[in-house]
Each structure stands twice: as C-alpha cells, then as structure tokens.
Amino acid sequence: RLDPAAYDRMEIVICPPFTALRSVQVVVESDELDVALGAQNMYWESSGAFTGEVSPPMLTKLGVKYVILGHSERREHFREDDEHVNAKVRSAFANGLIPIMCVGETLKERESGFTQAKVGSQVWEGLKGLTETQVAGMVIAYEPIWAIGTGRNATAEDAQETISSIRGEVREMVGDAAEEIRIQYGGSVKPGNIAEMMAQPDIDGALVGGASLDADEFAQIVQYYKPS
C-alpha cells in the first residue's frame, strides 16, 4: 500500500481499459481510496448510432473523472487527427470530464528539428474553442513517441525544454491559464528517472505507461520523493 503522505502530495489517477472501469471503481470506492478514476479514450458524441464507441455519459455514470485523449497510439493506429482530438476535448468539458490531452513527436520529426513545430501545432489545434478557465483546469501530457515502450526516454532536460515550450504556447493562447494548467511527461517513466523529471520547473506530473502494470514500480514512482 502507498504511504498515506502520497495522497497529500499529489493526485493519483488510474486509467484502466473500459472493461475494467467498473471493477476498479468498486475497489476505489469500497476501500475509500483517494484515487481518481480515468478512462483511456472516449467518443465525442454523447449519443447516437456509433456502434462500438464509448460516450462521455457512459463514463460519468461509472464515476470517471479524467479521460486520456489523443494518445499517440490513437493518433497513429486509428488515424485520429487534431480535429478529432479537439472535438473530444471540448466534449469532455461539456460532460464534466477533465481531459488529459496528449501531444508528442516521432523520432524522425525530432531528428529533423521539428519537435517544437509539431508539438506546438498539436497544442494550438487541440485547445481551439476553449475558455481560459477550461484550459487552466485540464492536463496536457507530453509523450515523445520515440520514448514510448522503447526503453529510450528523453532526458529530464529534453523533457523540460519541450514542456516549457508547451507552456509558452498555452500562455500565448490564453495568458495566465498557462500557470495553472498541469503539464505532464510520459515516455518510459520509471522509478529510476521520476525524481529527476519532477525536479524540473515545468513538469507537473507523469503519464505512466508500462511501469503502471507493476504495482511495486508504480508505487515507487508515486512515492519518488521518499529517501531511498
């Protein structure tokens, strides 16, 4: 179990597959855990003939608070573009959900010097039509595609540089909301690199992937501040 101090220092969100949402909800509620429930995706329409899709009201009925949108795998494998992501972000807010909007670049884009252009474009397109208050209350997760599930990861300095530029884009769009929005790093986050990441001034949290499947590793990441 986690050190109780972990719950006081940070917000912990668990985002299981759709089929496990109800089971996780029961555990969280029965154990009175201070853990928020999140979903890994959703469709932007609240109702209609969209067989196989999961709507925002379906999630809220299960006590879901957060939803991950625009994950790199959704963009790559399911051809979700910035317009789709923006529609989902706006729908999340309309249905009382907090979006975790993912942005990130490929290895080719990074090596070609297009990181800031690619990520900046995703930020601008993804936040279209949002109010300053909405932007301030959401989460952006920077996940360099080349560092997801590869064992490679951006250095803390690399992550800070890009996340700082993301905050700058948000500031240009909506002003002071840039100081309130939470911007996370995601990409091979592990117990061995989380403390260094979290020491950076613009990194507010982590979107944990593979390491979240190991309870001990995930607990170590959440409790990164404890002395070894």
Tokens of 74: 């959704």
Active site residue 157: no
The whole-angstrom separation of Cα 183 and Cα 38 is: 17
Please name the amino acid found at residue 195: A
Crossing angle (nearest 10°) for helices 156-174 and 115-126: 40
Active site residue 71: yes
Please name the amino acid found at residue 3: D
Q: Which of 80, 84, 105, 143 is catalytic?
A: 143
H-assigned helices in the chain: 4-9, 21-30, 56-60, 72-77, 82-94, 107-111, 115-126, 132-137, 156-174, 194-198, 215-222
Q: Which of 71, 80, 105, 169 is catalytic?
A: 71
Give which of 129, 55, 127, 131 is closest to 97, Cα–Cα. Answer: 55
Tokens of 46: 């609240």
Residue 227 in contact with residue 214, Cβ under 8 Å? no
The whole-angstrom separation of Cα 47 and Cα 207 is: 29
The whole-angstrom separation of Cα 192 and Cα 221 is: 8
Q: Which residues are catalytic?
A: 71, 143
